[in-house]
Each structure stands twice: as structure tokens, then as C-alpha cells.
């Protein structure tokens, strides 16, 4: 007999999704056979059908370009930050990218430390800027802009949909996995903030949100559209 093993990913790669969909459609339409479909699938994973620019940004070290860009733009366009917050978020993003890159080079079981290290580094950097400036930064925009890259929102939604559809094994597994990941990131950021400011993370978060967030009315500025497009490109 055969034993079925299911691998439940946290999230999806949109380019691979599109490629796999095209391969599946070609197989169903009879344009290719199963053997050819498997070959195309392997080649897609290897990046054979991906542009050189995409290959550069898909993996390290080229990928390091995207971390600060995504963090800075998300901090402003989604999370009520201003340009000063974007600057700090870019620093946090670059550091988080370096952490993931270095831990990835080491490999092995140490990879499980990526999320907690990223969270703590973000909390410490954001907290230091907040403390040294006398509270002139929007902590929530810096944190959420940086950690947005590591939060797997798609997996949350897919997990819930699978549970609703009765696919409890994959749905519950996926939902719990991303819940734990999100908790670890949030815990790390809170610890880092407490270390840097020597104050309660909740107190700093609320104080910052009430006084320093939402200072830019995006509805009144023309650059919100190109910034949103840049943010979307960085995220994708």
C-alpha cells in the first residue's frame, strides 16, 4: 500500500501559483502529458521559466533590496506612518532581512529562531528611536510595516476556508502554524520594545498611537497612488 503525506505550506508564491495553474490547465486540455507536466513543474521551481530580474529578487542577497522598500512603503501607505517612520522601518526591514539571510546560511534547526530574532531586533531598533527622540515616532507603523513581510495573511484566510469546507487536517494545521508564527513575531517585538524603552510595551504602543500616528492625510496628497504601486510591487 501507499502512505499519503500532506505538506501544508504557510503561504503561497503567486508566480508559482500562476505557473502551476497554467501547467494544470494544459494537462487537462491534453496539450501536454503527465510526464511533461511534472518536468515543467520541476523547472518552474528551479526558476527556469523566471526572468533574471525575478531570480535576483527572489533569493538572497538580491532579496535584501526588497525588505527596507516594503517596510518603508507599508509603514506610510497602510499603517498611518510618516516619512520619519518610513526611515526607521527601512532600517528595521534591512536588519530583519540580514537576520533571515545569515540564519539561512547557517541552516539547520537554527532557522526556527528567525521569527523571534526578527521581532526582537525590530522592537529594539524602533524602541531606541522612539526613546532617543522623546517619543516622536509611530511605533505601530514601524512594527507593522516591518513585520508585514513575515505575517502570512493568505494562510490565515485559506486555513479558515479549509476548516469551513471540512478539510480539518490541512485547515487546522495551517491555521495553528501561522498563529504560532504571528505570536512569536509579536512577542519578540514586544520584548525588544520593553528592552529598548524600559517601559511597558503596551504603554508605549498606546502612547505612540495616540500622539504620533496618522499625521499624514493620504487622501490629500497626490503621491499616495505611486507610493501604493511601489509598495505593492515590493510586496509581490
How far, in Å, CA of 7 to CA of 160, rounded?
Answer: 17
**Average pLDDT score over residue span 169-173:** 82
On the question of pLDDT at 93 being above 90, the answer is yes
pLDDT digits (tens, 9 = 90+) for 20-70: 788 888 888 888 888 888 888 888 777 776 766 666 777 778 888 899 999
137: left (phi over 0), alpha (psi -120 to 50) or beta: beta
Residue 49: the pLDDT is: 67
User: By the 8 A CB rule, do 172 and 159 touch?
Assistant: yes
User: By the 8 A CB rule, do 47 and 58 touch?
Assistant: yes
**Average pLDDT score over residue span 191-219:** 93
pTM of the model: 0.79
Residue 103: the pLDDT is: 92
Q: H or E stretch including 197?
A: helix 168-197
On the question of pLDDT at 5 being above 80, the answer is no
How far, in Å, CA of 30 to CA of 20, rounded?
Answer: 15
CA distances from 51 to 42, 54, 86, 231 (A): 16, 5, 30, 21
30: left (phi over 0), alpha (psi -120 to 50) or beta: left
pLDDT digits (tens, 9 = 90+) for 182-198: 899 999 999 999 999 99
Amino acid at each position: 500500500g501507499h502512505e499519503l503525506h500532506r505538506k501544508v505550506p504557510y503561504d503561497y508564491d503567486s508566480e508559482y501559483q500562476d505557473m502551476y495553474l497554467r501547467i494544470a490547465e494544459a494537462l487537462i486540455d491534453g496539450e501536454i502529458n503527465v510526464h511533461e507536466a511534472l518536468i515543467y513543474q520541476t523547472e518552474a521551481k528551479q526558476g527556469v521559466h523566471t526572468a533574471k530580474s525575478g531570480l535576483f529578487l527572489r533569493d538572497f542577497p538580491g532579496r535584501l533590496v526588497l525588505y527596507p522598500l516594503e517596510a518603508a512603503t507599508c509603514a506610510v501607505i497602510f499603517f498611518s506612518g510618516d516619512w520619519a517612520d518610513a526611515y526607521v522601518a527601512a532600517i528595521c526591514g534591512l536588519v530583519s532581512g540580514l537576520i533571515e539571510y545569515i540564519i539561512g546560511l547557517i541552516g539547520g534547526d537554527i532557522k526556527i529562531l528567525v521569527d523571534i530574532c526578527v521581532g526582537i531586533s525590530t522592537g529594539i531598533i524602533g524602541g531606541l528611536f522612539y526613546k532617543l527622540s522623546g517619543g516622536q515616532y509611530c511605533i505601530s507603523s514601524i512594527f507593522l510595516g516591518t513585520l508585514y513581510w513575515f505575517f502570512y495573511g493568505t494562510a490565515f484566510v485559506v486555513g479558515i476556508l479549509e476548516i469551513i469546507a471540512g478539510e480539518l487536517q490541512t485547515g487546522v494545521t495551517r491555521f495553528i502554524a501561522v498563529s504560532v508564527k504571528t505570536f512569536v513575531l509579536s512577542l519578540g517585538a514586544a520584548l525588544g520594545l520593553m528592552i529598548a524603552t524600559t517601559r511597558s510595551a503596551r504603554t508605549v504602543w498606546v502612547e505612540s498611537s495616540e500622539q504620533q500616528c496618522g499625521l499624514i492625510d493620504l487622501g490629500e496628497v497626490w503621491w499616495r497612488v505611486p507610493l501604493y504601486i511601489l509598495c505593492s510591487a515590493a510586496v509581490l
